[in-house]
């Protein structure tokens, strides 16, 4: 690299003369401009290719995104339709099940009345329902009595409910006939096929019922023998 230090541009220009020196300078400048121009064109073309590829990639990504959104929307609609269909199907099945249970219940009820030969003879306690009211410790009761005798004479008698539970942490029992002393007439029954005995009662405050015993008494009469029926039910509000 020592030869570069030996080059003296002033000496070179003196030897070449003004015209040749000017021509040499113009040549050098032109060569630099040409090289710069070619390099600029190459870099510009390279940048254009990159921009074109990026634009194509961006367009492709936009299209894929639109396709994904369209697919998600379609699947969302299908899922909502399926959910509504399942909900409707569940509601229909629940309704059918409730209707089926009610039909079976009614069939069993009327079978006891119309086909007593399939059951034991006499009067039976078919069902007990305890219904809440808006008043504290005040309830409604419904007792369904059914006669299954083949001759079906009128069955007469009275029913009573015995509530077993706890009061002040001690076992305690209350009779419905004692709770409704002024309305004992509503506990009587007189029917040929079936009858619903119903009324209202109020339990003492603090009493927690656990079990109910239904007692039906048929006194001895001209057309019936003395009979006493007892049936236990858990305390449950309907």
Quick one: 197 and 161 in the same domain? yes
Looking at residue 21, its pLDDT comes to 65
DSSP string, 125-180: EEEEEEEE-SSTTEEEEEEEEEE--SS-PPEEEEEEEEEEEEETTEEEEEEHHHHT
Quick one: 110 and 124 in the same domain? no
CA distance 155 to 221: 10
Which two structure tokens, joined as six digits, stand for 36? 């710069």
Looking at residue 116, its pLDDT comes to 46
CA distance 9 to 6: 10
Nearest to 149 by CA among 185, 114, 101: 114
Nearest to 219 by CA among 157, 161, 177: 157
Quick one: 156 and 104 in the same domain? no
Ranges under pLDDT 50 in the chain: 4, 115-121
pLDDT digits (tens, 9 = 90+) for 53-86: 887 888 888 888 888 888 888 888 888 888 888 8
Quick one: 110 and 125 in the same domain? no
Structural domain containing residue 172: 120-234
* Ramachandran angles phi, psi of 32, nearest 5°: -65, -40
DSSP 237: B
Nearest to 200 by CA among 146, 136, 145, 130: 130
Contact (Cβ atoms closer than 8 angstroms) between residue 235 and residue 166: no
Q: Per residue in 209-236, is it b (16+ CB within 10 Å) or e — as a string?
A: beebbbbbebeeeeebeeeebeeeeeee
3-state secondary structure of 203: coil
In a domain, 149, yes or no: yes
Looking at 114, 130, 164, the residue that finishes a domain is: 114
Query: Measured in Å, how far apart are the chain's first and last C-alpha atoms?
Result: 111
In a domain, 104, yes or no: yes
Quick one: 125 and 77 in the same domain? no
Which two structure tokens, joined as six digits, stand for 61? 């990504």
Quick one: 161 and 229 in the same domain? yes
Quick one: 134 and 230 in the same domain? yes
Q: Give the HSE-up count for residue 223: Cα atoms under 13 Å, Cβ half-sphere.
A: 10
Quick one: 196 and 213 in the same domain? yes
The CATH number of the domain holding residue 193 is: 2.60.40.1400
Question: How many Cβ atoms sit within 10 Å of the Cβ of residue 75?
Answer: 10
Instruction: Map tokens 């048929």 to a residue.
Output: 218
């Amino acid at each position: 690299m020592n030869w570069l230090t030996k080059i003296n541009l002033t000496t070179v220009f003196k030897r070449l003369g003004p015209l040749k020196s000017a021509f040499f300078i113009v040549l050098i400048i032109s060569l630099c401009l040409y090289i710069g121009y070619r390099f600029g064109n190459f870099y510009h073309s390279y940048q254009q290719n990159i921009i074109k590829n990026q634009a194509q990639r961006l367009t492709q990504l936009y299209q894929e995104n639109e396709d994904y959104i369209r697919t998600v929307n379609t699947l969302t609609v299908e899922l909502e339709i399926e959910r509504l269909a399942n909900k409707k199907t569940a509601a229909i099945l629940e309704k059918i099940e409730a209707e089926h249970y009610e039909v079976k219940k009614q069939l069993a009820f009327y079978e006891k009345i119309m086909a007593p030969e399939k059951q034991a003879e006499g009067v039976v306690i078919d069902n007990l329902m305890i219904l809440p009211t808006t008043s504290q410790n005040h309830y409604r009761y419904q007792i369904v009595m059914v006669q299954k005798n083949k001759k079906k004479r009128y069955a007469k008698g009275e029913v009573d409910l015995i509530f077993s539970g706890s009061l002040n942490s001690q076992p305690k029992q209350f009779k419905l006939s004692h709770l409704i002393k002024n309305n004992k007439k509503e506990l009587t029954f007189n029917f040929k096929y079936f009858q619903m005995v119903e009324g209202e009662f109020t339990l003492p405050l603090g009493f927690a019922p656990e079990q109910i015993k239904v007692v039906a008494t048929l006194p001895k009469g001209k057309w019936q023998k003395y009979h006493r029926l007892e049936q236990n039910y858990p305390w449950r509000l309907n």
